[in-house]
Structure 1
Amino acid sequence: MESPSLLALALILWFCCYGALSCPVRCTCHFGTQSTETVCPDAALSHYPSNGLPGNTTSLNIQFTNLSSISAQELGATPLLQELHLPGNSLSSLPGDLLTGNQLRELPARVFYHAPLLNLVLKDNRITSVDADWLPFNSNLTWLDLSGNNLKKIPSALLERLSRLETLHLSQNFLETVPAESLHSLRALERLHLEENKLQSLDAKAFSHNSNLTVLFLQKNKLQTLPATVFHRLHRLQYLDLSENQLTFLTPGTLSLGISLVDLTFNPWHCDAKIEYLWKRLNDTPVQSVLRCASPKTLKDKAVADLTPEELGLPE
């Protein structure tokens, strides 16, 4: 019977020999007992080097080529991969599933400097902080998805570099507030996802520089009140979702008449004189769904729009 040491040596030789016979064209493979490095520096390379790529590759370096795309499926062929270097290529975007659903906690500075990305998806990881130096100043990024992470603060320093950003996903994090001007650099922003956070308040100037915003998601937070002017500069806002918060009334003037659709369902509306503004708004411009009183007990479950001035305690 073969000894364990001889068996281990045989396995190492098998991997090395198999790998030595399998290396992509225009690439160089370096085999070790515990690692396999594949380096592809040829400018003529325009496709991911799947053909011949050693399955036991631990480090892959594709540099200064014409590579324009890469998929999670292609990377899946190298399950032992620990390092991926992509400097100086022609990547314009990373697919949504490439870095999604991993265990990323942090990324090094300048990690995306050498790829002129338009879309960056880092959702469903464990990122707790964002380095402003991930992307260069005046980045071309138009779509950033950081949803499903562990962020407690809006990454303002990074956002200052993203003047072309049109869509920002920060949902399913642990954000508690949107400070004044934390989003002030995003003048091209059209869609903002802040749903499913821990938001308890919004600064009155939170969106004062986002005049191109058309869709704003704030549902499933803990908002109890809203500043009267918080949405006043959003002249292009078409859809606003405030459902499943802790709102009991709206300050007069909160909702601009220019907003086409507003979802205010599943808030604990307290139906007394303080709800007059919302009551009038519902009768002038119906919102997406029927709103019902949560209190007082005498009006519980009644439709807000159907209340009488007398029930609200308003003067005749």
Structure 2
Amino acid sequence: MDSWFQLVISIIVSSICHGAFSCPQRCTCHFGSKTTEVVCPDASLTHFPGESLPSNTTSLTIQYTNLGNLTTQELRATPLLQELHLPGNRLSSLPSEILRALPHLHTVDLTGNSLHDLPPQVFYHSPLLNLVLKDNRLSNVSADWLPDNSNLTWLDLSGNQLRKVPFALLQKLGRLETLHLSENLLEEIPADSFQSLPALERLYLDENKLQSLDAKAFIHNTKLSHLFLTKNKLESLPATVFQGLKHLQYVDLSENRLQFLTPGTLGFGISWVELNQNPWHCDAKMEGLWIRLNKQSVQSEPTCASPEGLKDRAISTLTRKELGLAD
């Protein structure tokens, strides 16, 4: 028994000496049977805490610190890393081969840094499934960031300065299921913009500057279930823009400039639609929407903006006579 006990102690001591159970200052560490999570939230942190980082770290979070630089060599200290979260730091650039020593990495989160450009092949060397570049300063997206036939299923480019849909990069993402392009400067969605994304289920285009949609903008995205278009400048929608999208369940069109919808635009396959805060003009052109609102509920009841006599009236409460429709 004594020899067995000594062996266990020896193994533990050896592990500690080799950094498996160490934890950097200003960080907290959680050791599980198969995972080791390290979280470093201290604003006074200015350098990568590599010296005492557990060698078996699987998830590393360095958030809201003054970290302004990260090297490939520093990340070699965590060869088993699966998730790397770096939100709210001061990173303005990344080395081109930063992920080379991370063969198990599937998630990278770089939210809220100061990235304005990224080098070619920056995300080549890990089997990424989730990539978050939200709230940076990116005005261009390069197809060279990711390898051909990428396994990425989640891409977040929201909160940047993109003026065009990153078509070339999307060509490599045939497995993508969720795409965030919210809070950019997009003014149009050309036909076939997302034709290379047959697996796409959720598409976020809210808070851009979209004035119109091409009738074929989503024609290839037959698995699309949720579409977010709130807070744009849409004045009209093509009658066939959602045609063929049999899995589409939710559409958010709130806070646009829509005055009417062509009958049949929404169909009855979409189970939930947001339409409030649009300047709806309530006349005979509203018949299709009026019928829908009387058959299916919406999250927030849309109201008329004009004519004056119907202003602020809930559309669903109007009569055929008030809409100017023949009995």
Shared fold by TM > 0.5? yes
Deviates further, 62-71 or 134-143: 62-71
Contact 1:219/1:241 (CA < 8 Å) preserved in 2? Answer: yes
1:92 has 2:105 as partner: yes
Matched, 1:182 2:193: yes
Check 1:244–1:46 CA distance in 2 against 1; reply closer, same or farther (3 A cut): same
User: Could you list the runs of 5+ residues in structure 1 that have no partner in the other structure?
Assistant: 1-23, 26-35
Distance 1:280 1:218, change over 3 A: same
Aligned partner letter, 1:272 = D
Residue in structure 1 matched with residue 10 of structure 2 by the alignment: none
C-alpha change, 1:271 and 1:75, in structure 2 (3 Å) is closer
**Does the CA-based 8 Å contact 2:177-2:202 persist in structure 1?**
yes
- What is the aligned partner in structure 1 of residue 325 from structure 2? 314
Distance 1:74 1:250, change over 3 A: closer
1:117-154 C-alpha deviation (Å, 9 max, x unpaired): 00000000010010011101110000000000000100
Query: What letter corresponds to residue 82 of structure 2 in structure 1?
Result: S
Tell me, in whole angstroms, the C-alpha distance in 2 between the residues paired with 1:216 and 1:189: 10
Query: CA-to-partner distance for each residue in 1:184-219, whole Å, 9 max, x for gaps?
Result: 011001111111111111100000000001111111
Q: Does 1:114 align with 2:128?
A: no
> 1:59 touches 1:81 (CA, 8 Å); kept in 2?
no
Mapped to 1, the partners of 2:215 and 2:275 lie a distance apart of 19
Aligned to 2:57: 47
Identity of aligned residues (%): 57
- Give, as a single letter, the amino acid of the residue that structure 1 aligns with 2:183: Q
1:222 shift after superposition: 0.5
Q: Is structure 2 residue 217 aligned with structure 1 residue 213?
A: no
Deviation of the 1:296 alpha carbon: 0.8
CA distance in 2, matches of 1:315, 1:119: 54
Larger deviation: 249-258 or 120-129? 249-258
Alpha-carbon deviations, 1:222-259, whole Å to 9, x = none?
10000000001210011111111100000111012111
* Counterpart-to-counterpart distance in 2, 1:69 and 1:165: 19
Q: Distance in 2 between the 1:276 and 1:56 partners?
A: 57
**Whole-Å Cα distance in 2 between the matches of residues 196 and 156 of structure 1?**
19
Aligned-pair CA distance for 1:162: 0.2
| Whole-angstrom distance in 2 between the partners of 1:183 and 1:235 | 17
Contact 1:207-1:233 at 8 Å conserved across structures: no
Deviation of 1:71 (Å) = 3.9
Amino acid at match of 1:89: L
Change (3 A) 1:313 1:128: same
Q: How far off its partner does 1:286 sit? A: 2.5
Q: 2:118, 2:321 → 1: CA distance?
A: 60
| AA matched with 1:117 | L
Q: CA RMSD in A?
A: 3.2
Give 3-state SS (helix, strand or coil) of 1:216's partner.
Answer: strand
Distance 2:114 2:214 in 1: 32
CA radius of gyration, larger in? 1
The 3 A distance-change label for structure 1 pair 164 and 145 is same
TM-score by length of 1: 0.78
- TM alignment of 1:154-169, pairs within 5 A: 154-169=165-180
Q: Secondary structure at the match of 2:293?
A: helix
Q: Does structure 1 retain, via aligned residues, the 8 Å contact 2:87–2:112?
A: no
- Structure 2: gaps spanning 5 or more residues: 1-17, 20-46, 61-66
> C-alpha distance in 1, partners of 2:253/2:306?
19
Q: Which runs of 4+ in 1 moved over 6 A?
A: 36-40, 55-58, 73-76, 79-82
Normalised to the residue count of structure 2, the TM-score between the two structures is 0.75
User: Is it true that 1:299 corresponds to 2:304 in the alignment?
Assistant: no
> Which of 253, 270, 288 pairs up with 1:259?
270
1:160-188 deviation per Cα after TM superposition (whole angstroms, max 9, x unaligned): 10000000000000111111001001100
